[in-house]
Amino acid sequence: MFLSKAVLIPFALLCLGQSSTLRAQSTLAATPPMGWNSWNHFAEHVTDADVRTAADLMVSTGMRDAGYIYVNVDDTWQGSRDANGELHPNSRFPDMKKLGDYIHSKGLKFGIYSSPGPKTCGGFEGSFGHEIQDAQMYARWGVDFLKYDLCSMQDPMRELTAKNNGNTDAAFKMMIDAYRKMGDALKATNRPILYSLCQYGIAEPWKWGPEVGAQMWRTTDDIDDTWGRMTIIGLEQADLAPFAGPGHWNDPDMLEVGNGHMTTDEYRTHMSLWALLAAPLLAGNDLSKMAPEDKGILLNKEVIAIDQDSLGKQATRLYQRGDFSVWTKPLANGKVAVGMFNTALDSRDVSLDLTQIGFTQGATLHDVWENKDLGRRSGLYSRNIPKHGAALLILSK
């Protein structure tokens, strides 16, 4: 059958349109998502003005140009539903569409938060029973990112588990179905909305997250701004490397860098670990009060480049010896990023066996945090690492 030109051109346009939509979807989160989220600093006090100021500061501090693109409003923006079931923001957020437009006008993307349960963790309105309606509304507002937090859905899951004498299968299915429902609703909007699961690693979301349309999933319970919590989370990710890659990322939770309760060495450890883990980098600090050392950590180009490497490999732990561990992350250019972590309460002299990382003929070393070439080394590379500190190296042949 021959098709006339008049038919062929619209047909070609249709195909082009489809493939560009598909391309937009498949390149969503090609590297770990980067941005800022309101929760770790503002928590339930966040306002429209805070988010607009954060968007301004993302530009003026250089965060946007360093790759931090998403500006995400976390929990507590919601008001109540009207007679049509349409959800309205509360009085702290007068107009979400306008807020989204403002964020977009700064060359940034707009993120939002909800729950598959009737209530969010902060007790605000969730999306249960309104998934399609909410997804459509997000698309109208120009939302680019949804964090979907299990929260109150844990109640029916617990009831179901109790009814099934402790067997969690039905409860897990209920949860996965709920996440799929929102994933489908987001897809149906035809707007590329990055879908971020937050259910604290229950039922191994790294195994089913991609199937329900997610680009990232939390692997643990919440982080806080303490050395103890940050390292418990960061150093617990060793077995999850096979599940990370372009378009689908393990999320050990947002960054605490700059929130004031860790030392500079500890925040360097935090950032080094997250970069090696190819974790989403969602800053959670007050951008109006960034100390030079916090800027030095969050805006370090080489560290960001390790996180954002196009190969998308998550680091694995080469070994752990007492308080010292070594992690390696292969990079697209054939080099290897190496993290040396000292979790002890005092500084330590430690050594790295380069042959163990595959550099049997020696390697050229670059120290990322010191921004210093260390020249050729072979066999054992020894150095001192401060208490709770990290060294981040790039090794090449």
- Which amino acids are annotated catalytic? 149, 222
Number of CB atoms found within 10 A of residue 348's CB: 18
Show the binding pattern over residues 142-161: x = contacts ligand GLA (CB under 6 A), - = does not: -------x------------
Block residue for tokens 């072979």: 378
Residue 148: CB minimum distance to ligand GLA, A = 10
3-class secondary-structure state, position 335: coil
- What is the smallest separation between the CB atom of 222 and ligand GLA, expressed in angstroms? 5
Closest approach, Cβ 199 to ligand GLA, in A, equals 9
CB 186 within 8 A of CB 146: yes
Short-list 324, 227, 341, CA closest to 277: 341
Strand partners, 364: 376, 396
Do 149 and 183 form a contact (C-beta atoms < 8 A)?
no
CB-based burial, 75-88: b 16+ in 10 Å, e otherwise: bbbbeeeeeeeebe
Identify which of 180, 119, 186, 125 has the alpha carbon closest to the alpha carbon of residue 154.
119
Tell me which residues in 216-255 interact with ligand GLA (CB under 6 A). 222
Backbone angles phi, psi at 196, to 5 degrees: -115, 115
- Comparing CB distances to ligand GLA, the nearer of 255 and 354 is 255
Cβ at position 122, least distance to ligand GLA in Å: 4
| Ordered DSSP codes for 276-296 | HTT--EEE-S-GGG--HHHHH
Nearer to ligand GLA, 233 or 391 (CB): 233
Options 2-10, 118-126, 202-210, 361-369: segment touching ligand GLA (CB under 6 A): 118-126
DSSP bridge partners of 114:
148
Q: How near is the Cβ of 332 to ligand GLA at its closest, in Å?
A: 31
Pick one of 73, 87, 121, 365: the residue that binds ligand GLA (CB under 6 A): 121
Residue with the two structure tokens 């996965």: 176
Q: Is 39 in the site for ligand GLA (CB under 6 A)?
A: yes
Determine the interface stretch with ligand GLA among 120-128, 164-172, 243-251, 334-342 (rule: CB under 6 A): 120-128
Q: Which residue lies nearer to ligand GLA by CB, 48 or 149? A: 149
Nearer to ligand GLA by Cβ, of 72 and 272: the residue is 72
74 or 294: CB nearest ligand GLA: 74
Question: Residue 76 region, left (φ>0) first, then alpha (ψ -120 to 50), else beta?
Answer: left
| Contacting residues for 52 by C-beta, under 8 A, at least 6 apart | 99, 102, 103
Q: In the complex, what is the shortest distance from the CB of residue 152 to ligand GLA, in angstroms, rounded to a whole number?
A: 11
Q: Pick from 48, 74, 144, 256 the residue near ligand GLA by CB under 6 A.
A: 74
- CB nearer to ligand GLA: pick between 46 and 336: 46
Stretch that binds ligand GLA, among 55-63, 91-99, 114-122, 328-336 (CB under 6 A): 114-122
Structural tokens at position 11: 């047909």
d(Cα 71, Cα 51) in Å, to the nearest integer? 8
Span 179-198, contacts to ligand GLA by CB under 6 A: 198
**Nearest Cα residue to 248 out of 75, 13, 27, 98:** 27
User: Which residues ranging from 252 to 311 are in contact with ligand GLA (CB under 6 A)?
Assistant: none
Q: Which of residues 353-392 bind ligand GLA (CB under 6 A)?
A: none
* Among the listed residues 32, 42, 55, 75, the single contact to ligand GLA using CB under 6 A: 75
Q: Which of 122, 210, 247, 362 binds ligand GLA (CB under 6 A)?
A: 122
**Smaller CB distance to ligand GLA: residue 50 or 74?**
74
How many residues contact ligand GLA, by CB under 6 A? 9
Could you tell me how many residues make up the chain? 397
Compute the radius of gyration of the chain from its Cα atoms: 23
Separation between Cα atoms, residue 237 and residue 242, nearest integer Å: 11
Q: Select 121 or 298, whichever has its Cβ closest to ligand GLA.
A: 121
* Residue 261 C-beta: closest distance to ligand GLA, Å: 17
Residues that bind ligand GLA (CB under 6 A): 39, 74-75, 120-122, 149, 198, 222
